Structure 1
């Protein structure tokens, strides 16, 4: 079968043709002009020799097939690549939300009657009510060590519980080093953004999406730790929303995601603005002390953070906390202490903790052990 030309990035082509962003890996989604939130269905086409039969084999996997409202676009693009939806071998569904896989019912009932449906048991309990055939369910729990594709390739299900659904499971393709991450690393996209590849500016939309939908940082930190253990290391993150992450942004976004405060972490503090004046006083004291040790490098350190502007205003000299005072103080202290010896980091940590206590504020969570602060600091945080 001949393969039609695919676009590598021209934005004008996104609505018309599939985009091959890794070998035999295609974005087959829909883009409406001006939208800031859209779904990303992907097609992974495997071709090779079946280890059992020693014959040429093909396996076509549609990942997060998307909303039924996007079905016509997906149908057209997938058909242009493999000749028809009836050639689909399986559908993979990250979790139960309708924008992830509500088109699966029409695909499996009418167009791909033999395609398996791969997802977690928790996800299946809900999506089965979309009239999906029970006899085609393939549980990811049965393939924790990997799922062998009948072309000699392998896929690895990667559970990410509570990101944002209990049964959410990512899918890792070690051949292409693409991680299909579902909602994790998905986000809102600027209406004027061009192409499929994420840029530094995409983090703002990713952060906003996660702070709304993810329940707690502990779930994100666990997911990041799991991603870092994957071998070979992940090179591309293909989320179900937003744009595709590659290159240096993979490690940068992993680091930010690991410490991102979301959901219950920020709900109460985000709504409580009564202590902002006190938090500003604490931050002022910390910065004054830090300047005695670090001089003008204090401003340089603060300017390196792309996240500080989310909660504070920094004019190059003065920092004013506008919301989430505890998180802002923790972040400022982390920036100041990064790379500094204990004799500098220690006094900064002590000042932050003791100043918060003097104003009867919640104790900031600081990396005391990691910065090797003096032993008496632990008494202040107990």
Structure 2
């Protein structure tokens, strides 16, 4: 294994990035080096609260078999086909073209994680292998991926030797959130690529790529919506703690990246976080109605700042809302099914609104629920209120 070449202080930006870059860099246009030869190559649209994080890892070294200089370019969680143009532009700026990709790693089968892999492999990177678990492959192969290029992570439980003298470690994270999810650890840079684990929704006002304490609310919300049960989280947290050398950067597929003391802080919280099945019954508990009413009051107050009197028109147009709440004098009083009612109110308010309006309303519901220790409302964070067909899944 190569010697570790980590940044001296993970609480500061990489040495080749000025401290103010997180404020002045347009993340829509440029890749960002998060660790040596490790780049975020994603997309950021103003106003959104949910986005994906593809990464490029460039390996440069000597092929142990031939003794000749060699390169190996790995694209990690390449993202949605809708993000392909921006991701490909950033990757090309770093390595000269997608045809120089050696492999694509995919954590799990969700379209936002890797649906662009079919475009990349079919047209732009004819020699790139596709590295994922067998469970993931059984599903993504139906996206017309070339069967002959599949590389199963199960074959490398003790590590994968890169033909540059480097080493990577696939780390299974079962049921976080998919049965066949696999993280990828780079011991040299100490970056752990976690897929959906530690992903989150992000406040529209957040700057840069690096998480701070405020990101926990969005991480909590994402996990309570998408992760099945706390036991799965407990198991994977234990695995992460055992990785050597210790992890210095957690690079999730959504939200912002985690480093420094926040890693241990968020690991401890994740280990105890109730999610999915743990909170389904609690969501219907009448004892929470007072707290849910406080949530909806905050949501309504924020929405009025954006939408004015149209708030009343949006709510009065729903026949379903009358079944669980009273709407009088512009106020909503929840009578039963607190979480579902909040979800429905947010749906009505965000319907047809642009991301710069829908995003803050959703984040207010998410933040308020976290502050009152309530289960996260199941919001349409991926649709983010855009277009006319916004729907929420009632918990």
TM-score normalized by the length of structure 1: 0.71
Residue 189 (structure 1) aligns with: 202
In the TM superposition, 1:276-355 aligns within 5 A as 310=369, 323=374
Q: Aligned-pair distance for 1:312?
A: 6.6
User: Deviation at 1:9?
Assistant: 2.9
Unaligned runs of 5+ in 1: 278-306, 314-321, 325-382
CA displacement, residues 124-151 of structure 1 (integer Å, 9 cap, x when unaligned): 0000000000000000000000000000
Where 2:58 maps in the other structure, the secondary structure is strand
Which residue does 1:229 correspond to in 2?
A: 242
Measured in 2, the distance between the counterparts of 1:231 and 1:64 equals 23
* Partner-residue secondary structure (3-state), 2:25: helix
Q: Which residue does the alignment assign to 2:126? A: 113
Deviation string 1:7-50 (CA, Å, 9 cap, x unpaired) is 86345321111000100000000000011000000000000011
Residue number among 123, 126, 149 corresponding to 2:139 in the alignment: 126
Instruction: Give the counterpart of 1:90 among 100, 103, 111.
Output: 103
Name the structure, 1 or 2, with higher relative contact order (CA <8 Å, separation 6+): 2
> Quick one: distance in 1 between partners of 2:125 and 2:371?
52
> Is the contact between residue 188 and residue 206 of structure 1 (CA under 8 Å) also seen in structure 2?
yes
Q: 2:213 aligns with which of 171, 191, 200?
A: 200
With normalisation by structure 2, the TM-score equals 0.69
Deviates more, 1:205-214 or 1:266-275: 266-275
Question: Contact (CA 8 Å) 1:9, 1:19: kept in 2 or not?
Answer: no
Greater Cα radius of gyration, structure 1 or 2: 1
CA contact (8 A) 1:156 1:172 kept: yes
**CA shift at 1:270, angstroms?**
1.8
Q: In structure 2, what is the equivalent of residue 265 of structure 1? A: 278
2:158 corresponds to: 145
Tell me the C-alpha RMSD between the 2 structures: 2.0
Structure 2: distance between partners of 1:228 and 1:30: 30
Q: 1:246 aligns with which of 259, 264, 268?
A: 259
Answer yes or no: is 1:56 the counterpart of 2:93. Answer: no
Alignment match, 1:217: 230
* Structure 2 residue ranges without an equivalent (≥5): 1-15, 291-365, 376-395
Name the CA shift for 1:100/1:138 in 2 (closer, same or farther; >3 Å): same
SS, match of residue 13 in structure 1 = coil
CA distance in 1, matches of 2:140, 2:105: 12
